[in-house]
Structure 1
Amino acid sequence: MVMKGQMIVVVGIGADGMAGLSPASKAELARATVIYGSQRQLDLLDGTVTPVRRAWPSPMLPALRTLLDGADGDVHVVASGDPLLHGVGSSLIRLYGPDRVAVLPHVSSVTLACSRVGWAVQDTEVISLVWRDLPTAVRRGGQAVVMSRDAGTPAALAKLLTDTGRGDSEITVLEQLGGPAERRRSATAREWATRPPGDVDDLNVIAVRYLPDERQFGVLPDDAYANDGQITKQPMRALTLAALAPRPGQLLWDVGAGSGSIAIEWCRSGPGCRAIAFERDDKRRARIAANAAAFGVQVDVQFDAPESFDFAPPPDVIFIGGGVTQPGLIEACFERLPSGGRLVANAVTVESESLIAQWYTAYGGELRRFAHYRGEALGQFTGWRPVMPVTQWITTK
């Protein structure tokens, strides 16, 4: 049982150990009765800190949930750098609320890294690979401080950047930042991937300037994606993204995903946007995964719909870009759409157009038809060539 008034006090500590702590942080540790943290962080405390020290078990989350159970008074936690930057401080606040958790931050590894390479912190993206997959650290320009999972992260990231056409990216690996064993090494991603050092410390971050800089905000051109022609073309992709109306943290089901362009644009559109791409063709599934990795977005590629729907987390929004006429597909999508969820379906054939018109009649929403023309050479002149029209149904359940 949690006693009224109990607090969790999280103290940030750097690689310089006790020497870098503020007087307030030292005072908190001095009055503690029990201190939790990783073994590495606990080992940074010296003999002046006498409370019981308890290393986090693995997995750590169950221990966080019971941190105050049976405790007599406040509980203290030591954490690396700024505990609110991809750290345990944020997790504890989510579990116990801001009124029960006090955080005394140290200088973050991100700020230290930026100070070493001369970057403004506000112009630098922060990417954590501690819990996220490696491809989420791929960018097509800009600069970022990447928080590593372990000693192998720099080499793995360098290889992935090289494999996705970003081998000229400039990487600086900074180890034991702020401590007596601090070390800094720089190379291009290609050079690091070719000859990765074997003595990288587990405590490292990577400052990356992504090259070439091919950043583009808004809907990308078709040739940005590897595809076999099965792709929602750029103008229609822009209209479809407007209809899907992504919001931060939402999950999209992209059904009949083709090259995955809609799923990838969805993920690029805002923070925390995730997508699951359903595609029956195995070559296209591999292509979707490669496209997602090249843009550093989180797209889970699944087998054919609707058979694999039961194994996927529930969506916020569903897009049907292919397979509209497959028997039972729209029914299965509509059934799994939560109340208030949005469904968008595009149709290019008479048969698929007829089907979504029937659903529009039965369930309402909006029905739109788009047709546009492209200027192309006509002898010595320019003429208009029509692009196949698309019918779109939009509904909210």
Structure 2
Amino acid sequence: MADAPWLTIVGLGEDGPGGLCVASRAALDAAEIVMGPPRHLSLLPDVGARRIDWPVPFADGVETLLTCRGTPTVALASGDPFWFGAGTTLAARLERSEWRAFPGRSTFSLAAARMGWALETTACFGLHAAPLKRLRPALAPGRRLIVLLRGGDSVHALAEYLSAEGFGASTLSVLQALGGPREAVTEARADALTGDFAHPVCVAIALAGDGAVLPLASGRPDDWFDNDGQITKRPVRAMTLSALAPRPFETLWDIGGGSGSIAIEWLLGDPTLRATCVERDPDRAARIAENAARLGQDRLRVVTGSAPEALDGLDPPNAVFVGGGLSQALLDRLAALPAGTRIVANAVTLESEALLAAAQARLGGDLVRLDLSQAAPIGPKRGWKAAYPIVQWSVTL
């Protein structure tokens, strides 16, 4: 143990030390400090170490833990510390040589075992400090979810949210204190749930109901996005997302956000994606944030301001979409971005088209014109009603 890092992160279950591996027990025996939530500390016998209660909010406890640097310390976490757990946060603040971890059985694994569900096809969510709307993209009849919640009151909030979204027929299995002597399981429909529940709690959800289902493909129906008419319409949005070609861990600038539909659909593509929406109109900026939150993409950053000035200080992008506010000054600013940055810009007016034509002549890339028509009544018959044509420029610098 002399060569061990000063910090050991131990995943503890509701059965206390009975479920710990040999290495976790040895770390506890050697520790001079044990830090964890009061509930976890109460599960341990007297190990001779000084005990420190982990405070709320969690971030305050991290600072306290760092003051223990150099002293053999154990930080207690629930189950698997690296699956919606504290381990990820702690590892990000420390050098790799300073810590080691011994995970326990995750709540997700225990819940799947109780339910008889295949974990690889079950969506898992940690919503201790995240809004319930994070679930929205996953809501579809037949899907199975396991959701970790902050406390007992959150169970009823979850049931009310599912019912409001049209999934009140879903079966909820409320799983309390899994793996310990206080384990309890309560099953009910979301729209008929009653009773009191206590932390630690998670809920296994078998989704059912006639609520709206968010499609998986880019180009979601326009009515998913509240707007005042300033929105990249569904067919053009699908082609724009295809041109932007999001890849894992990339960042998008969506300039002239309107309803935020491009940035939100970008984020829906993968949880590692990031996006910043720049919108000069404060009302539209607020609407963008509301649209993003409603669709579970609250990680969208919304900046109120005009480009190119509002771009100062933003994290550098991998891709940029210009849906509004096109100007020569903005194009000049984007042209100075690092090589490899992808730019897609849409134009409707002749003046904007001219800017894109000149940019394509100077920087290369593809220039395409999108002409869309939709069947509409003409007296007692039907004909094609044309929308304004869209000119789209896409280039990789």
* Map of 1:10 onto structure 2: 9
Query: How far did 1:227 drift?
Result: 3.5
Counterparts of residues 45-64 of structure 1 (less than 5 Å): 45-47=44-46, 49-56=47-54, 58-63=59-64
Identify the residue that residue 295 of structure 1 maps to in structure 2. 295
Match of 1:202 among 199, 202, 205: 199
Gaps of 5+ in 1: none
Distance 1:162 1:281 in 2: 34
Task: Report SS of the residue matched to 2:145.
Answer: strand
1:43 match: secondary structure: helix
- The 5 A counterparts of 1:93-242 are 93-96=91-94, 101-138=99-136, 139-141=138-140, 142-192=143-193, 197=195, 199-211=196-208, 212=211, 214-219=213-218, 220-242=220-242
What one-letter code is carried by the residue in structure 1 that aligns with 2:251? L
**Separation (CA, whole Å) in 2 of partners of 1:338 and 1:348:** 27
- Give the Cα separation in 1 of the matches to 2:349 and 2:18: 70
Separation in structure 1 between the aligned mates of residue 203 and residue 18 of structure 2, nearest angstrom: 25
Q: Report if the CA contact (8 A) 2:84-2:126 is conserved.
A: yes
Is 2:324 aligned against 1:322?
A: yes
Q: Is the 2:24–2:102 Cα contact (8 Å) retained in structure 1?
A: yes
Aligned partner letter, 1:344: V
In structure 2, distance between residues paired with 1:228 and 1:345: 21
Answer with 235-244 or 302-311: which moved more: 302-311
Aligned 1:222-301 pairs, distance under 5 A: 222-298=222-298, 299-301=300-302
Between 372-381 and 97-106, report the one with greater CA deviation.
Answer: 372-381
Query: Is the alpha carbon distance of 1:258 and 1:103 closer, same or farther for their aligned partners in structure 2, counting shifts above 3 Å?
Result: same
Q: Report if the CA contact (8 A) 1:137-1:146 is conserved.
A: no
Matches within 5 A, 1:288-367: 288-298=288-298, 299-306=300-307, 308-310=310-312, 313-325=315-327, 328-331=329-332, 337=337, 340-367=340-367
CA distance in 2, matches of 1:291, 1:169: 25
Contact 1:164 1:294 in 2 (8 A): no
1:241/1:88 CA distance change after superposition, 3 Å? same
RMSD in angstroms over aligned alpha carbons?
3.3
Superposition pairs of residues 356-395 of structure 1, within 5 angstroms: 356-374=356-374, 384-395=384-395
Distance 1:257 1:125, change over 3 A: same
TM value normalised by structure 2: 0.82
Would the aligned equivalents of 2:374 and 2:384 in 1 still touch at CA under 8 Å? Answer: yes
Cα gap change, 1:148 to 1:392, in 2 (>3 Å):
same
Larger mean Cα displacement after TM superposition, 152-161 or 216-225: 152-161
AA of the residue aligned to 1:320: V
The answer to whether the aligner puts 1:78 opposite 2:76 as a matched pair is: yes
Mapped contact 1:371–1:390 kept (Cα < 8 A): yes
Question: What CA distance in whole angstroms lies between the structure 2 residues aligned with 1:170 and 1:285?
Answer: 37
What are the superposed Cα offsets for residues 299-344 of structure 1, whole Å, 9 maximum, x if unpaired?
334424336545755544321112225x844456666x55543322
- Relative to structure 2, which stretch is displaced further, 117-126 or 16-25? 16-25
Q: What amino acid maps onto 2:203 in structure 1?
A: I
SS of equivalent residue, structure 2 residue 242? helix
Most deviating of 84-93 and 159-168: 159-168
Q: Do the aligned partners of residues 316 and 170 (structure 1) sit closer, same or farther apart at CA in structure 2, a change above 3 Å counting?
A: farther
Residue segments in structure 2 that go unaligned for 5+ positions in a row: none
Following superposition, the deviation at residue 258 of structure 1 comes to 2.1
% of aligned pairs identical?
38
Structure 1: distance between partners of 2:234 and 2:349:
19
**Structure 1 Cα separation of the partners of residues 243 and 139 of structure 2:** 26
CA distance in structure 2 between the partners assigned to 1:372 and 1:18 by the alignment: 66
Moved more, 168-177 or 75-84: 168-177
Q: Does the aligned pair in 2 maintain the 1:255–1:319 contact within 8 Å? A: yes
Q: Please identify, of 259-268 and 298-307, the stretch whose mean Cα deviation from structure 2 is larger.
A: 298-307
Deviation string for 1:159-194 (max 9, x for gaps)? 4444444444443332222222223334444445xx
Cα contact 2:375–2:384 (8 A) shared by 1? yes
Contact 1:315 / 1:338 at 8 angstroms: preserved in 2?
Answer: no
Supply the AA of the counterpart residue of 2:326.
V
Aligned length: 385
* Separation of aligned partners in 1, 2:171 and 2:85: 26
Aligned residue type for 2:31: A
Give the whole-Å Cα distance in 1 for the aligned partners of 2:351 and 2:278. 21
Local SS of the residue matching 2:230:
coil
Native 8 Å contact 2:6 2:70 kept in 1? no
Which deviations, in whole Å up to 9, do the C-alpha atoms of 1:47-97 show, x marking residues without a partner?
Answer: 3x2223333455233345555x332xx543321111121223333444456
Judge conservation of contact 1:64–1:92 (CA < 8 Å) in 2. no
Specify the SS of the correspondent of 2:39.
helix
Q: Secondary structure at the match of 1:18?
A: helix
